Amino acid sequence: MDKDQEFNDDQNWKEDILNSLEGMEKAKPSRNLLPDIERRINLSETKQVSFAPLNVAAAIAVILVVINVLVLSRFMLVGNNENVSSPESATQTFTLVNDFSIYE
């Protein structure tokens, strides 16, 4: 067989391969596939439902932490303000204490 003939044969063969899907029918999956899918969907829905209370609990916990932080920071702010007292209030306190020092 000469080279040209071999080349042509190969080319024809390749074209046959490339066209080998012509007239192909569709394959069908097993009949159990739909029930399997529905089972998976139901399972994922159940999971979502069972996770719902956890999400609520997590949200409540976050809110509580935020409230605590706010209250604490406010408390500390007020405490600092009380510590920085003016000289006048210091004398008042002193006077007041003196008024009650009955053992002097």
Partner 1 sequence: MNSHEDIIQAVVLGDKKAFQELYLAFHVKVYNTALGYVQNEGDAEEITQDVFVKIHQYAANFKGQSQLSTWIYRITVNTSLNFLKKKNRFAIFRFGKPDTNQPDFEHPGVLLENKEKSKILFKTIQSLPDNQKTAFILCYVEDLPQQEVADIMEISLKAVESLLQRAKKNLRKKLDFFAPTRRKNK
Binding residues for partner 1 (CB under 8 A):
1, 6, 9-10, 13-14, 16-18, 20-30, 33-34, 36-38, 40-41, 44
As a whole number of angstroms, the distance between CA 87 and CA 104 comes to 24
Token pair 């899918």: residue: 37
Residue 21 or 102: which CB sits closer to partner 1? 21
Residue 9 or 77: which CB sits closer to partner 1? 9
3-state helix, strand, coil in the chain (%, to 5): 75, 0, 25
Question: Shortest Cβ distance from residue 38 to partner 1 (Å)?
Answer: 8
SS3 assignment, position 20: coil
Residue 2 or 99: which CB sits closer to partner 1? 2
